[in-house]
Amino acid sequence: MAKSNKDILAETLAYLDSLTPGKGDLELATLKGVDKYLLGVTQSFLDRAKDNIRKNILITSGNLESDLTFDIISDGLKFEISIGYPSDSPASKYYDYVNKGVRGFKSGTPNSEYSFKSPYPNRKMAANIFSWLNRNRIRDKYEANVNKSKLGKKRAALTKMVNEAQNKRRLAYAISSGIKKGGIKRTLFFDNAKDFAFGQSFVNGLAKIYGKEVSLVIKDYGNNNQ
């Protein structure tokens, strides 16, 4: 479970209180406190995002959870935190579609900046759905009978569909077409975690450690990093 900023701030302030004057000057101690606080809050973001991924059952391939990472760069009193997916991760290409959702060509929902421009799936999309069906079918062979969770039941239903379909590729095309018409629901797994970790309480916490006013700028660097 992700720690709250309040808890992370309390841990950081306790750490600063444990430092004695003889172990270094105040400015150096403060910077160490800031480092500790930034690392704690960033880890809290990752924990919250991964909790959201599991809650929404977005773990078919595992890329969304396993490839999510961060980097912290410090330059004096200026800090930069990069959070997202490496450019060579498959998740960097699609995570924001899962996050914000994609409007269906026919349904017009959800309310998202992304939308399908046609109800007809291309070969790549159908091939990805075909591969997804087969992955879940293989896993279900070993897990469905013992896994009574929502995910296990979902895989069991997919296996039944695949087994009963006369043409699995036709089934994959039909599912792809349904997705393009109906859209992809938004999960906000990323945005929710960002708001949880890097809201006003984050700024207030930094200001309390620094003892001075702090400004926060959040930039979106496209469909692979924020």
152 pLDDT tier (thresholds 50, 70, 90): low
Question: Is the whole-model pTM more than 0.85?
Answer: no
Question: pLDDT at residue 148 above 90?
Answer: no
Let me know: does 11 contact 208? Beta carbons within 8 Å.
Answer: no
- CB-count burial class (<10 Å; 0-12, 13-18, 19+) for 132: middle
Let me know: does 96 contact 189? Beta carbons within 8 Å.
Answer: no
Please name the amino acid found at residue 226.
Q
Same domain assignment for residues 172 and 65: no
161 pLDDT tier (thresholds 50, 70, 90): low
pLDDT 10s digits, 109-129: 999 999 999 999 888 888 888
Number of Cβ within a 10 Å radius of residue 48: 22
Same domain assignment for residues 195 and 86: yes
Same domain assignment for residues 12 and 58: yes
- Please state which of the ranges 29-43, 49-63, 91-105, 158-172 shows the lowest mean pLDDT: 158-172
Same domain assignment for residues 138 and 59: no
Domain membership of residue 10 as a residue range:
5-93+187-210
Same domain assignment for residues 164 and 87: no
Residue 9 parent element (H or E): helix 5-18
Instruction: Give domain status of residue 197, yes or no.
Output: yes
Interior/surface letters 184-199, b for 16+ CB within 10 angstroms, e for the rest: bebbebbbbbbebbbe
Instruction: Give domain status of residue 215, yes or no.
Output: no
- Structural domain total, the chain: 2
What mean pLDDT is predicted for residues 146-171? Answer: 65
Spatial distance between the Cα atoms of 154 and 139, rounded to a whole number of angstroms: 11
pLDDT at 210: 80
The DSSP string of 35-94 is HHHHHHHHHHHHHHHHHHHHHTT--SSSHHHHT-EEEEEEETTEEEEEEE--TTSTHHHH
* Torsion angles phi and psi, residue 184, rounded to 5: -115, 125
3-state secondary structure of 113: coil
Same domain assignment for residues 174 and 197: no
Same domain assignment for residues 173 and 203: no
Spatial distance between the Cα atoms of 61 and 132, rounded to a whole number of angstroms: 8
Residue pointed to by tokens 């998740």:
91
Give Cα 85 distance to the centre of its chain: 9
The DSSP string of 130-164 is HHHHHHHHHHHHHHTTT--SHHHHHHHHHHHHHHH
Chosen domain end from 147, 166, 184:
184
- Please state which of the ranges 33-42, 100-109, 209-218 shows the lowest mean pLDDT: 209-218
